[in-house]
């Protein structure tokens, strides 16, 4: 059984525009010549050469990868074309070539190889901060988070907005890694791509009122808005966030693609693992605890904490046990989006999963179906015109071809997946990796249970796009809709509620639990219409809704907690900074409405910052 993830194999074939499905068997004994396919010619950046990075041959693709290895000491130097960026425990972020894949397959110390996955950027803080009693912490405890870091991984930030300055007008941003800008001005990032801006650089931009063209001022505004909720200082019409004195470390994330701009679904996890590894380095250098906010996510995956991305997120806090490191993730905005379907089958049953497609240009449609591997199921795909694929089963696990409409399909059934031992069916519909409009109407996946041991529960998720081109038509269920990596074991997942009575859960807020029945989201926070800092302005604000706005309330609250606890070091015998597991427990148990019972929408209750801080005072 190959170590190379089937999603990556499908991506390579989709990019090449060939209907035939590459098989896993091609890797264990194949030479680089045998597996080489013509890929778009890539350009090697001058900065790579100047930095001493060995360029990959022009005929090869640069493929963003995540590897799981037996030991963190594995160096990969024997793998041709492999360039390692960062490590979080046994998870390695890297770039490689087709030749690299063949060598990784043969390396006994490499357990699995995955492609990266896609990234989606999907009331007044003067009201929401008092609602969670953050203002009480500022006034009663005099705590504003000055001995903590807030990490922000998002699509951008306006470093000139006054919300991110201290009382003297200097920036509170310790460092900003712009993964999107390849100029290397003012400095090339040590991980080999993107541009590094230090606090002194940003103070220079403040003095001139001008930022480098590559950095910009976050015109979309999502990252600026999120960062100001967690750690913004009051400025003009902006009322201020939860931890207004905390320092910030920011990653402007990007989606790495195959050169040539194809296979758009590759890139999410590679860059975000690198981001976490770097934030951890900065926190260690600053000797400060750090709460990282992640308000971006994805939908495809098993939703059970077993993927390489989720494991890497858990490794950031050493499985929740490392002092002073915690990640907060928005629950997602999948409520009512018809992105999750669930059905239960028994031996001999035949069911159909239907989804509707809209006339939207896109690179691909991808649906993942997960179920326990003890069950024997067969699948057949039907397009809106009634044309059908062959049957995919345990005996014939792959099928690929072209419908008369021109839409290409890849079906791949993998039993005993290396992440969790379950079965996964990948359904991909594409036009050779190029943006296009696919056949609109109702698509059908016909499912037959050849042999089911008792009830066979099947979960299907649509890999989301901002355009929301697909929606399930039946077997709908809002539960189990948390976005990944909020399903990781140590990541705190946050749902969204209204900032005013009766504090109802937002309809769009994703519901738990995880597929393996863990209780998430952990808590809720105000997120339904929050006014915070607006990118491109000095002190302006704008209103945004969503769990993206709820999560930074919790991130800022945890920064306040770690800063407050740090100041009690001299008074508490055997003092030690809190870890992610302790912070989660305290957060849950001090939540407004906590009774010990979990609700799939509300979690264990609504954030109460005063109660959280009081429990350690």
Give the pLDDT score at 60.
Answer: 46
What is the β-pairing status of strands 149-154 and 290-294? parallel
Confidence of residue 192 (pLDDT cuts 50, 70, 90): confident
Q: What is the Cα–Cα distance from 119 to 92, expressed in whole angstroms?
A: 19
pLDDT digits (tens, 9 = 90+) for 222-232: 999 999 999 99
Tell me which CATH code domain 6-115 carries.
Answer: 3.30.70
Count Cβ neighbours within 10 Å for each residue of 132-158 and write b for 16 or more, e otherwise: bbbbbbbeebebbbbbbbbbbbbbbbb
pLDDT digits (tens, 9 = 90+) for 443-501: 999 999 999 999 999 999 998 765 679 999 999 999 999 999 999 999 999 999 988 77
Give the pLDDT score at 18.
Answer: 46
Count of alpha carbons within 13 Å of 314, Cβ hemisphere only?
17
Q: What is the Cα–Cα distance from 295 to 288, expressed in whole angstroms?
A: 22
Is residue 2 scored above 90 in pLDDT?
A: no
Q: What is the Cα–Cα distance from 557 to 145, expressed in whole angstroms?
A: 9
CATH of 125-332+484-614, one of 3.40.50.1370, 3.40.50.200, 3.40.640.10, 3.30.565.10: 3.40.50.200
CA proximity to 291, closest of 262, 257, 325: 325
Q: What is the Cα–Cα distance from 499 to 381, expressed in whole angstroms?
A: 44
CATH of 340-472, one of 3.40.640.10, 3.40.1030.10, 2.40.30.10, 2.60.120.1290: 2.60.120.1290
Residues of the chain with CATH 3.40.50.200: 125-332+484-614
CA proximity to 465, closest of 264, 225, 256: 264
Confidence of residue 267 (pLDDT cuts 50, 70, 90): very low
**Token pair 């409405």 is at which residue?**
593
Q: What is the Cα–Cα distance from 382 to 255, expressed in whole angstroms?
A: 32
Q: What is the Cα–Cα distance from 307 to 301, expressed in whole angstroms?
A: 7
Give the pLDDT score at 586.
Answer: 98
pLDDT digits (tens, 9 = 90+) for 375-432: 999 999 999 999 999 999 999 999 999 999 999 999 999 999 989 999 999 999 988 7
606: tokens are 């609504």
Say which DSSP state 599 is in: B
Q: What is the Cα–Cα distance from 347 to 571, expressed in whole angstroms?
A: 64
Is residue 261 scored above 60 in pLDDT?
A: no
414: tokens are 């993998």
Q: What is the Cα–Cα distance from 309 to 302, expressed in whole angstroms?
A: 11
Q: What is the Cα–Cα distance from 371 to 302, expressed in whole angstroms?
A: 9
pLDDT digits (tens, 9 = 90+) for 13-54: 655 544 443 344 433 333 222 222 222 222 222 222 223 333
Cβ atoms 606, 497 nearer than 8 A: yes
Q: In which region does residue 552 sit, left (phi positive, over 0), alpha (psi from -120 to 50) or beta (all else)?
A: alpha
CA proximity to 413, closest of 428, 432, 393, 430: 393
Q: What is the Cα–Cα distance from 525 to 495, expressed in whole angstroms?
A: 6
Residues of the chain with CATH 2.60.120.1290: 340-472
**Hey, what's the torsion of the CAs at 401, 405, 407, 410, to 10 degrees?**
-30
For the residues of 537-585, what is the DSSP string, one character each? Answer: SSS-EEEE-SHHHHHHHHHHHHHHHHHHHHTTTTTSTT----BHHHHHH
**Token pair 């059905």 is at which residue?**
343
Query: What's the pTM?
Result: 0.86
Mean pLDDT of 320-331: 97
Higher pLDDT, 79 or 17: 79
3-state SS assignment for residue 574: coil
| Residues contacting residue 501 through CB under 8 Å, at least 6 positions apart | none
Cβ atoms 137, 560 nearer than 8 A: yes
Is residue 367 scored above 80 in pLDDT?
A: yes
pLDDT digits (tens, 9 = 90+) for 94-141: 888 888 988 999 999 999 888 766 544 435 666 789 899 999 999 999
Q: What is the mean pLDDT of the chain?
A: 87
């Amino acid at each position: 059984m190959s170590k190379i993830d089937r999603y990556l194999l499908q991506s390579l074939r989709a990019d090449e525009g060939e209907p035939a499905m590459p098989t896993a068997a091609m890797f264990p004994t194949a030479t680089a010549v045998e597996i080489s396919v013509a890929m778009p010619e890539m350009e090697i950046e001058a900065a790579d050469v100047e930095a001493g990075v060995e360029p990959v041959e022009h005929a090869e693709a640069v493929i963003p990868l995540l590897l799981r290895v037996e030991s963190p000491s594995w160096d990969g130097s024997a793998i041709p074309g492999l360039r390692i960026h960062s490590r979080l425990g046994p998870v390695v972020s890297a770039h490689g070539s087709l030749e690299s894949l063949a060598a990784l397959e043969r390396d006994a110390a490499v357990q699995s190889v995955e492609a990266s996955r896609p990234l989606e950027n999907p009331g007044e803080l003067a009201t929401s901060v008092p609602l969670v009693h953050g203002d009480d912490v500022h006034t009663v405890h005099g705590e504003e988070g000055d001995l903590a870091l807030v990490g922000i991984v998002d699509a951008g930030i306006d470093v000139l907005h006054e919300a991110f300055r201290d009382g003297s007008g200097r920036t509170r941003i310790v460092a900003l890694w712009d993964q999107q800008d390849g100029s290397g001005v003012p400095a090339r990032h040590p991980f080999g791509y993107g541009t590094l801006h230090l606090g002194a650089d940003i103070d220079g931009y403040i003095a001139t009122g001008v930022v480098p063209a590559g950095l910009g001022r976050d015109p979309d505004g999502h990252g600026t808005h999120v960062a100001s909720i967690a750690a913004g200082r009051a400025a003009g019409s902006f009322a201020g966030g939860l931890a207004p004195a905390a320092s910030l470390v920011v990653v402007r994330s990007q989606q790495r693609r195959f050169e040539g701009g194809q296979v758009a679904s590759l890139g999410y996890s590679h860059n975000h693992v690198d981001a976490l590894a770097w934030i951890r380095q900065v926190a260690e250098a600053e000797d400060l605890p750090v709460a990282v906010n992640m308000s971006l996510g994805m939908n495809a995956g098993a939703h059970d904490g077993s993927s390489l991305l989720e494991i890497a997120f858990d490794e950031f806090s050493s499985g929740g046990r490392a002092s002073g490191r915690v990640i907060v993730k928005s629950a997602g905005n999948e409520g009512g989006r018809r992105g999750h379907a669930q059905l239960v089958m028994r031996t001999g049953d035949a069911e159909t999963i239907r989804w509707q497609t809209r006339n939207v240009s896109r690179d691909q449609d991808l649906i993942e179906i997960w179920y326990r591997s003890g069950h024997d199921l067969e699948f057949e795909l039907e397009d809106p015109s009634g044309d059908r694929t062959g049957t995919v089963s345990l005996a014939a696990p792959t099928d690929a071809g072209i419908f008369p409409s021109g839409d290409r399909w890849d079906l791949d059934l993998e039993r005993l997946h290396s992440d969790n031992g379950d079965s996964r069916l990948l359904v991909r519909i594409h036009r050779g990796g190029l943006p296009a409009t696919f056949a609109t109407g109702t698509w059908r996946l016909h499912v037959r249970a050849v042999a089911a041991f008792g009830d066979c529960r099947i979960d299907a998720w649509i890999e989301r796009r901002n355009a929301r081109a697909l929606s399930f038509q039946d077997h709908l269920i809002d539960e189990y809709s948390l976005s990944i990596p909020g399903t990781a074991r140590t990541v705190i997942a946050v749902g969204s509620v209204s900032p005013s009575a009766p504090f109802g859960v937002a309809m769009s807020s994703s519901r738990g639990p995880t597929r393996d029945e863990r209780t998430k989201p952990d808590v809720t926070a105000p997120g339904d219409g929050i006014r915070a800092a607006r990118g491109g302005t000095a002190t302006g604000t704008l209103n945004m809704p969503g769990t993206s706005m709820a999560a930074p309330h919790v991130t800022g609250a945890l920064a306040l907690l770690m800063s407050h606890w740090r100041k009690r070091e001299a008074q508490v015998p055997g003092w030690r900074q809190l870890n992610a597991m302790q912070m989660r427990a305290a957060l849950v148990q001090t939540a407004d409405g906590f009774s010990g019972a979990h609700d799939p929408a509300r979690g264990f209750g609504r954030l109460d910052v005063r109660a959280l801080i009081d429990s350690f005072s």
